[in-house]
């Protein structure tokens, strides 16, 4: 396993970053917490916590409604957060950024609003075995409801998409390509730009699940050429309840709203309703505006540190861990074995120990990892395992934490005598 | 040395008792825990209201497999009524190790399958009322 990292930018000052995250200085049963479950959710810096607390303590009021100072300030902060997200994604317009609770809600918004109008009986929806359930089940159910067909493209033995198969399936015709930018189970990064161009050539609309991408690497929706892109805030230092859908204006304008109710209307009579403008047409009811403002603060934090440097930092950790983990007898690593087109997700199993037992033993040493199917059951089936143990890194993780992970793997093997 | 993965737990995991297909089973029930991918089939041979034999086939974590193995040893020879009376607390106490909330369903998968075999249970032990 040849793994080298050539940093293009200055390394992160991880000690300084860690000081911003109150929870990282906590201990569990007297041991410093080693948080390696960032693909599930990230920890929050003081800057995000403070931004949210300031809303509650200084000017909380409902947005888009009140004609008074507090409401105006909160509305401005909420819309500023939208502008920050639009800049982060290089979206052509803020109007293309719709706040939702998470990536799952984002995919559902697209599936219900765009999908139900546009996917017809017999249409082909091309997707991949790498999808998180959130970018798979909505399409599977849509296909069932309208009589469309879901085609699932396979991976090779290193967890990389079978490009030949994907191209062949697209050539057979596709109405929609639903593809993850980055696999939450294996850390594989798909060549979305190239794939989106191929999909567009056959007339398919492209939905990108960027839940594992936006937090860890620069994502430019115009460069990618996607039609819709979704992500969650909680995986990128922001609170749960924040997230966004980006979509092309032309598509969003044609779509019907996903949810009906307050704030998404411009005029209501007893017999008809006219929709509000973009993006509010898709934001029915009182938004999670404090969470969205927290997301704006998280975008600032990540941008200040630099997503390029965060990505390189995570790869340096993976580059350190892969050979050390891989040389332990009985350890099988799933997914890419090199640093090319991957992120800081390392999925593995220890022969003779179920991942849940692994995670329980790790927990004694305050090492937090995910054990299970990672909402990737089709992928687990493809790998031929019921579950894996997954360590996933972020900007605040360290080489010492990689060493701690290797130590607890040995500890687990000792307990089980394998 | 380890409070949870004690020697007898690991022994039941590595050398499960009453493991494998049961010839002439009268009652069979399969269950799974999709969260962790654990699989469990309990088979009973019931005659004259008594459990004459019991086997299980499963794969999964040490807690689920050891718990099922221990359970099979306990129920052999018992009456069907006695099997039906085994509850969640009894199984957890019998395991003799601290079980964290996230692992309770691992510990109870064997009991759920056993009860399913005994009388067609569909809910997790201890949650029967909620499920109704």
Q: Where are the domains of chain A?
A: 14-32+306-416, 49-304
Q: Compare CB distances from A387 to B4, B10, B37 and report the shortest one's residue.
A: B37
**A93 with A250: CB under 8 angstroms?**
no
Q: What integer is the mean pLDDT of B76-100?
A: 93
- A37 three-state secondary structure: strand
Neighbour tally for A75: CB within 10 Å: 17
Is A138 within 8 Å of A148 (Cβ atoms)? no
Cβ within 8 Å, pair A386-B60? yes
Give the one of B5, B36, B100 whose C-beta lies nearest to A415's C-beta.
B5
Helices B104-119 and B62-75, interaxial angle, to 10°?
A: 40
pLDDT attached to residue B121 = 60
Q: Which residues of chain B neighbour A371 with C-beta distances below 8 Å?
A: 36
Give B10→chain A minimum CA distance, Å. 7
Contacts of A357 in chain B (CB under 8 A): 5, 61-63
List the beta strands (DSSP E) in A7-106.
27-28, 31-32, 34-35, 97-99
Angle at A217 between CA A214 and CA A221, to 5 degrees: 55
Asked if A360 lies within 8 A of B36 by C-beta distance, the reply is no
Instruction: Confirm or reject contact between B123 and chain A (CB < 8 A).
Output: no
State the pairing for strand pair A124-128/A176-180: parallel
Closest C-alpha to A199, from A232, A230, A161, A231:
A161
Q: Which of A385, A359, A357 is nearest to A370 (CA)?
A: A359
Per-residue pLDDT band at B33 (split at 50, 70, 90): confident
Tokens of residue A259, six digits: 């949810």
Contact B5 A416 (CB under 8 A): yes
Backbone angles phi, psi at B117, to 5 degrees: -65, -40
| Cβ within 8 Å of residue A22, ≥6 positions away | A46, A49
Residues A34/A366, Cβ–Cβ less than 8 Å: yes
Closest residue in chain A to residue B60, using alpha carbons only: A354
For A292, residues 6+ apart whose C-beta sits below 8 A from its C-beta are A78, A81, A82, A99, A233, A242
- Residue B36: list chain A partners with CB under 8 A: 354-356, 371-373, 386-387
Beta carbons of A357 and B2 less than 8 Å apart? no
Q: Which residues of B touch A386 (CB under 8 A)?
A: 36-39, 59-60
Residues of B in contact with A387 (CB under 8 A): 36-37
CATH number of A14-32+306-416: 3.90.1150.10
Q: What is the DSSP letter of A370?
A: E
Q: What is d(CA B11, CA A259) in angstroms, rounded to the nearest whole number?
A: 55
Residue extents of the structural domains in chain B: 7-120
Cβ–Cβ contact B99 with A under 8 A: no
Measured between beta carbons, the chain A residues lying within 8 angstroms of B100 are 360
Q: Say which of B36, B62, B103 has its CB closest to residue A387.
A: B36
Contact between B123 and B111 under an 8 Å Cβ cutoff? The reply is: no
What is the third-level CATH fold of A49-304?
Answer: 3.40.640
Instruction: Report the sign of the C-alpha dihedral through residues A181, A394, A10, A405, in that order.
Output: negative
- Asked if A386 and B61 come within 8 Å (Cβ–Cβ), the reply is no
Phi, psi of B56 (to 5 degrees): -135, 155
| pLDDT for the residue B3 | 83
The residues in B 4-43 lying below 8 A from A, measured between CB atoms, are: 4-5, 10, 34-39
Residues in chain B: 132
Q: In Å, how far is A30's CA from the nearest CA of chain B?
A: 17
Name which of B36, B60, B108 to mutate to probe chain A: the one with the most chain A Cβ atoms within 10 A of its Cβ. B36
Segment 77-96 of chain B within 8 Å of chain A by CB: none
Q: Are A101 and A235 in contact (CB under 8 A)?
A: no
Q: Which residues contact B38 (CB under 8 A, 6 or more apart)?
A: A354, A386, B32, B58, B59, B60, B61, B64, B106, B109
Q: Pick the catalytic residue from A143, A375, A405, A408.
A: A375
Residues of A with a Cβ under 8 Å from any B Cβ are 353-357, 360-361, 371-373, 377, 380, 385-387, 415-417
Residue carrying structure tokens 């825990």: B33
A32/B98 Cα distance (integer angstroms): 22
Tens digits of per-residue pLDDT, A283-297?
A: 999 999 999 999 999
Instruction: Please state the φ and ψ torsions of residue A87, each to the nearest 5 degrees.
Output: -65, -40
ipTM of the complex: 0.85
DSSP state of A281: G
Contact B37 A380 (CB under 8 A): yes
The alpha carbon of residue A417 is apart from the nearest alpha carbon of chain B, in Å, by 9
The answer to whether the CB atoms of A356 and B100 lie below 8 A apart is no
Inform me whether the pLDDT recorded for B67 exceeds 60. yes
Is A190:A139 a contact under the CB 8 Å cutoff?
no
Residue B11: half-sphere exposure toward Cβ, Cα within 13 Å: 5
Strand positions, DSSP E, B13-104: 27-33, 38-47, 50-59
Closest residue, chain A, to B32 (C-alpha): A386
For residue A23, what are its two tokens? 């929870």
Catalytic residue list contains A402: no
Q: For testing the chain A interface, which of B8, B62, B103 should be mutated: the one with the most A CBs within 10 Å?
A: B62
Contacts of B39 in chain A (CB under 8 A): 386
**Cβ separation of A356 and B103 shorter than 8 Å?**
yes
The answer on pLDDT for B123 being more than 70 is: no
Please list the pLDDT of chain A residue by residue as tens digits (418 residues): 445 555 567 789 999 999 999 999 999 999 999 999 999 999 999 999 999 999 999 999 999 988 899 999 999 999 999 999 999 999 999 999 999 999 999 999 999 999 999 999 999 999 999 999 999 999 999 999 999 999 999 999 999 999 999 999 999 999 999 999 999 999 999 999 999 999 999 999 999 999 999 999 999 999 999 999 999 999 999 999 999 999 999 999 999 999 999 889 999 999 999 999 999 999 999 999 999 999 999 999 999 999 999 999 999 999 999 999 999 999 999 999 999 999 999 999 999 999 999 999 999 999 999 999 999 999 999 999 989 999 999 999 999 999 999 999 999 999 999 9
Please answer yes or no on whether B60 and A354 come within 8 Å at the CB atom.
yes
A305 and A314 in contact (C-beta within 8 Å)?
no
Architecture per CATH, domain B7-120, reads as: Alpha-Beta Complex (3.90)
When CB atoms are compared, the residue of A356, A361, A416 closest to B106 is A356
Residues B36, A356: C-beta atoms closer than 8 Å? yes
Give yes or no for residue B46 having a pLDDT over 70: yes
Q: Distance from A389 to chain B by nearest Cα, in Å?
A: 11
């Amino acid at each position: 396993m040849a793994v080298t990292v050539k940093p293009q930018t200055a390394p992160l000052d991880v000690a300084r970053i860690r000081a911003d995250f109150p929870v990282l200085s906590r201990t569990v049963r007297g041991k410093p917490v080693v948080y390696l479950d960032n693909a599930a959710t990230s920890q929050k810096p003081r800057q995000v916590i403070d931004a949210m607390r300031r809303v509650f303590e200084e000017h909380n009021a409902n947005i888009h409604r009140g004609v008074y100072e507090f409401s105006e300030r909160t509305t401005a902060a909420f819309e500023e957060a939208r502008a920050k997200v639009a800049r982060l994604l290089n979206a052509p317009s803020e109007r293309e950024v719709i706040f939702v609770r998470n990536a799952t809600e984002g995919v559902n918004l697209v599936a219900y609003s765009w999908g139900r109008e546009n996917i017809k009986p017999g249409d082909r929806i091309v997707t991949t075995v790498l999808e998180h359930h959130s970018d798979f089940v909505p399409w599977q159910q849509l296909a069932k409801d309208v009589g469309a067909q879901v085609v699932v493209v396979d991976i090779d033995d290193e967890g990389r998409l079978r490009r030949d198969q994907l191209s062949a399936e697209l050539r057979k015709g596709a109405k929609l390509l639903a593809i993850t930018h980055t696999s939450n189970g294996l850390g594989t990064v798909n060549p979305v730009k190239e794939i989106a161009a191929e999909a567009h050539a056959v007339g398919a609309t492209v939905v990108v699940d960027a839940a594992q991408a936006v937090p860890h690497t620069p994502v430019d929706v115009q460069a990618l050429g996607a039609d819709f892109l979704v992500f969650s805030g909680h995986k990128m230092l922001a609170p749960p309840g924040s997230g966004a859908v980006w979509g092309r204006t032309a598509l969003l304008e044609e779509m019907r709203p996903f949810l009906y109710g307050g704030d998404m209307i411009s005029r209501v009579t007893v017999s008809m309703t006219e929709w509000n403008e973009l993006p509010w047409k898709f934001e029915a009811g009182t938004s999670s505006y404090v969470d969205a403002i927290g997301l704006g603060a998280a975008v600032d934090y990540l941008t200040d540190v630099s997503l390029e440097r965060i990505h390189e930092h995570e790869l340096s950790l993976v580059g350190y861990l892969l050979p050390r983990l891989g040389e332990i007898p009985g350890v099988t690593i799933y997914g890419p074995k090199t640093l090319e087109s991957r992120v800081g997700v390392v999925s593995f199993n220890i022969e003779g120990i179920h991942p849940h037992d692994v995670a329980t033993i790790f927990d004694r040493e305050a090492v937090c990892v995910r054990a299970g199917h990672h909402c990737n059951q089709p992928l687990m089936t493809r790998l031929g395992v019921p579950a894996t143990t997954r360590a996933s890194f972020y900007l605040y993780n360290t080489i010492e934490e990689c060493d701690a992970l290797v130590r607890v793997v040995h500890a687990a093997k000792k307990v089980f005598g394998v | 040395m380890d409070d949870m993965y004690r020697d007898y737990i690991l022994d039941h995991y590595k050398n499960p008792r009453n493991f494998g297909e049961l010839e002439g089973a009268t009652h069979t029930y399969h269950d799974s825990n999709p969260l962790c991918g654990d699989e469990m089939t309990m088979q009973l041979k019931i005659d004259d209201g008594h459990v004459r034999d019991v086997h299980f086939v499963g794969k999964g974590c040490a807690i689920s497999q050891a718990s099922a193995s221990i359970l099979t040893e306990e129920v052999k020879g018992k009456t069907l009524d006695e099997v039906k009376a085994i509850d969640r607390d009894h199984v957890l106490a019998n395991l003799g190790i601290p079980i964290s909330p996230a692992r309770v369903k691992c510990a109870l998968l064997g009991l759920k399958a056993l009860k399913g075999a005994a009388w067609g249970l569909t809910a997790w032990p201890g949650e029967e009322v909620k499920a109704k």
